[in-house]
Structure 1
Amino acid sequence: MAQVPATPKMRRFSLLTAARLFGPDLLLKNSDLQASERAALTLRSLKSPRAPENPTSIFLIPLVGPHHVGDWQAVCLRLTATLRSFIAQTDPNWRVLICGQTSPDLPDDARITFVPFTEEIEGNDKWAKLRQLCETLPTLGIAQGYAMTFDADDLAHPALVEEMHTRRAAGGYLMSQGYVFDVGNNRIALAAPASAAQPLRKPFWKLCGSCAALAFDFSSDPNAETARIRESTQHEHRMFPYLAKLAGRPLSPLSGPKALYMLNHGENFGARRGRVSFKQRFAERFEVTDPETLARIRQDFALD
């Protein structure tokens, strides 16, 4: 199962404009919509978004299989660090679902669940695992909250869940700011929207898949809610803001860097596809050099 191609930018603009001017029902009559667009428009036609009450954040982690990596133990160690960043959350109302062929040793925490993956797929099976994770969501008995895909080698800031639950954004959240950690070169950079001083800088959500938390409400129309999350995850992460707007649930930026993306550590899938080098150049260009800031980052994300 391959990643679904992104909708061209001009078509995204035209569909968003048409949805705003004419409503979703007319657009749903089109036969050339992507499954993600159809799911987004269907949800938009059913109900208006509302802030979740007593939310639980659910993090969806597709875990690479041992047959796809050169050092399975290193993969397990990085996953443990990721899970520890959730255990360190100041708000305890979270769950983690991990989908993979082989379950590593997991921390003894009832909020962490392993979902076995048994499909035989040649090549990158990440998208099939994400689909299975999304279809598991409504079985957890959690009515409202946020669903966020998260890579097994990224780290969450300890205040991530607390901010999402305190603000209770009706549509969800987008990581416009975050840190990029080039492990091989021990270099940390800040990803954030471009500015006059940094015109070539990029927001975090354009660099890392651990970037969007989608609000859900399974108390009504759970099938539509599940389909919207499931089909959104089948695309590259740059599609998340567009699909959220198409669903009538725009994403709110978080207040600051609430995730850290680790690259150049030896087992990135992007490296095997030749896609990490530009991110290493990004980390070099936008490196954080202030000693106090670096010390705070390393403490917040338990890098030492």
Structure 2
Amino acid sequence: MVLTEEQRKTCRSKIEPWRDVMTRDPVDEAPEVIFSIPLISKEKANNWSKVCSNLTKTVESLRRQTSPNWKAVICCQSKPDGIEFDDKVTFLPFTRMLERTDKAPKRKAIFEFCRDSFSGDKYLFYLDADDLAHPTLVEYILDTRDPSGYLVDRGFLYDTVAGKLAPLYRPTPDVLQKQKKKIRWTRQLIRLRNIGRRLTGREAIEYPARLARMRSFDSKCGSCVAWRYRCGGNRENSPDVPEFSHSFVRPASEEGLVNLHKISFEAMIYVVGHGENLEELVGGVQRKLEYADEFGLPEREAKKVLHTFGLL
């Protein structure tokens, strides 16, 4: 993706005030990761019980972290059921009821709460209330302590209905080149598959998915960025963390507007298919289900990943 001039202008206006103040000094020796979790209101949810169940799995993925240096702040109009709120997980009431989606206002409320309630260097990690973190995510961030923050561009897409788990990352150029050499033979396989389908009514031949169609995690899921922020500063002199579409983060980084550290492993699972994902509520999830079907991992490999993330 290449930013338009208007998108570039928007990103620059959000990034530069934060970058000029927050990234110029070395990171503290003992920073902390704070997971910012805006939760859909009970009134807007199709199934509040399912929303709470999904959130429980998300929080469990945080409690499995190998590093204890994290906190989570959940912001919503109603206190979710089944969550143990303690010194690690905080509930932040949101008093407004908005007609439009209120994810961004809730993120801002969480940011302001953290700025005023905590002190020192933090990494504010945007986390949707149904996604899952790899158990070593916090440990990796705190071991590397990047002065700007982090981008998750490698992860997985999990279709909970079909049980399909697909990788979300862009293949390297050399891998793409190797597959290009196979395209001619693949086209023959497609023709044979279509003939077999007409004759038998079923799939007779499997053929490799086109790797060039694979997508990075950050292009599909908002649980992909952690901004460095020094909490406890003066409200007037402390700029907000950047807030814009997650799909702009990678292009903005590639254009030099921000220099986020790309996490080197598959750090997140983007969960879809349960009916309470934001894109499902607005009817935009079908292409992601098709992606999971096309690029789904073999069952044995998928089970290994799901076990690592605590789903098995």
TM-score normalised to structure 1 length: 0.82
Q: Go from structure 1 to structure 2 and tell me whether the alpha carbon gap of 1:47 and 1:208 turns closer, same or farther (over 3 Å shift).
A: closer
Give the Cα separation in 2 of the matches to 1:284 and 1:224: 48
Q: Go from structure 1 to structure 2 and tell me whether the alpha carbon gap of 1:224 and 1:163 turns closer, same or farther (over 3 Å shift).
A: farther
Give the Cα separation in 1 of the matches to 2:14 and 2:43: 34
Give the Cα separation in 1 of the matches to 2:238 and 2:129: 24
Give the Cα separation in 1 of the matches to 2:79 and 2:94: 10
Q: Which amino acid aligns with 1:199?
A: A
RMSD between superposed Cα atoms in Å? 2.4
Percent of aligned pairs sharing the same letter: 27
What secondary structure is seen at the aligned counterpart in 2 of 1:120? coil
Partner of 1:79: 55
Please tell me whether residue 240 in structure 1 is matched to residue 216 in structure 2: no
Match of 2:32 among 56, 71, 75: 56
Q: Which amino acid aligns with 2:113?
A: T
Question: For the Cα contact (< 8 Å) 1:40–1:244, is it kept in 2?
Answer: no
Give the Cα separation in 2 of the matches to 1:203 and 1:51: 29
Partner of 2:130: 153
- Once the two structures are TM-superposed, the CA of residue 46 in structure 1 deviates from its matched residue by 4.3
Match of 1:210 among 223, 228, 240: 223
Give the Cα separation in 2 of the matches to 1:40 and 1:208: 20
- Once the two structures are TM-superposed, the CA of residue 218 in structure 1 deviates from its matched residue by 3.5
Question: For the Cα contact (< 8 Å) 1:144–1:219, is it kept in 2?
Answer: no
What secondary structure is seen at the aligned counterpart in 1 of 2:128? coil
What secondary structure is seen at the aligned counterpart in 1 of 2:166? strand
Give the Cα separation in 1 of the matches to 2:139 and 2:49: 31
- Once the two structures are TM-superposed, the CA of residue 278 in structure 1 deviates from its matched residue by 0.7
Partner of 1:95: 71
Q: Deviations over 1:72-115 (max 9, x none)?
A: 11111110110011111000000101110100132243111111
Q: Go from structure 1 to structure 2 and tell me whether the alpha carbon gap of 1:287 and 1:96 turns closer, same or farther (over 3 Å shift).
A: same
Question: For the Cα contact (< 8 Å) 1:40–1:246, is it kept in 2?
Answer: no
TM-score normalised to structure 2 length: 0.80
Partner of 1:3: none
Question: For the Cα contact (< 8 Å) 1:37–1:246, is it kept in 2?
Answer: no
Partner of 2:16: 41
Give the Cα separation in 1 of the matches to 2:64 and 2:291: 29
In structure 1, stretches of 5+ residues that fail to align are 1-6, 16-32
- Once the two structures are TM-superposed, the CA of residue 265 in structure 1 deviates from its matched residue by 0.7
Matches within 5 A, 1:190-205: 190-195=167-172, 196=176, 197=179, 198-205=211-218
Give the Cα separation in 2 of the matches to 1:112 and 1:154: 16
- Once the two structures are TM-superposed, the CA of residue 295 in structure 1 deviates from its matched residue by 2.7
- Once the two structures are TM-superposed, the CA of residue 259 in structure 1 deviates from its matched residue by 0.7
Q: Go from structure 1 to structure 2 and tell me whether the alpha carbon gap of 1:170 and 1:46 turns closer, same or farther (over 3 Å shift).
A: closer
- Once the two structures are TM-superposed, the CA of residue 213 in structure 1 deviates from its matched residue by 0.8
Q: Deviations over 1:227-265 (max 9, x none)?
A: 1x1xx33x2211223556788541111111111110011
Question: Quick check: 261-270 or 211-220, which moved more?
Answer: 211-220
Match of 1:177 among 154, 161, 179: 154
Q: What is the count of residue pairs matched by the alignment? A: 274
Partner of 2:202: none
Question: Quick check: 189-198 or 168-177, which moved more?
Answer: 189-198
Partner of 2:141: 164
What secondary structure is seen at the aligned counterpart in 2 of 1:161? helix
Question: For the Cα contact (< 8 Å) 1:62–1:99, is it kept in 2?
Answer: yes
Q: Deviations over 1:178-228 (max 9, x none)?
A: 01000111100000014404111111000100001111223667656541x
- Of structures 1 and 2, the larger Rg is shown by 2
Question: For the Cα contact (< 8 Å) 1:43–1:247, is it kept in 2?
Answer: no
What secondary structure is seen at the aligned counterpart in 1 of 2:43? helix
Question: For the Cα contact (< 8 Å) 2:154–2:216, is it kept in 1?
Answer: yes
Match of 1:264 among 273, 289, 294: 273
Give the Cα separation in 1 of the matches to 2:285 and 2:253: 27
What secondary structure is seen at the aligned counterpart in 1 of 2:4? helix
Question: For the Cα contact (< 8 Å) 1:57–1:161, is it kept in 2?
Answer: yes
Q: Which amino acid aligns with 2:214?
A: R
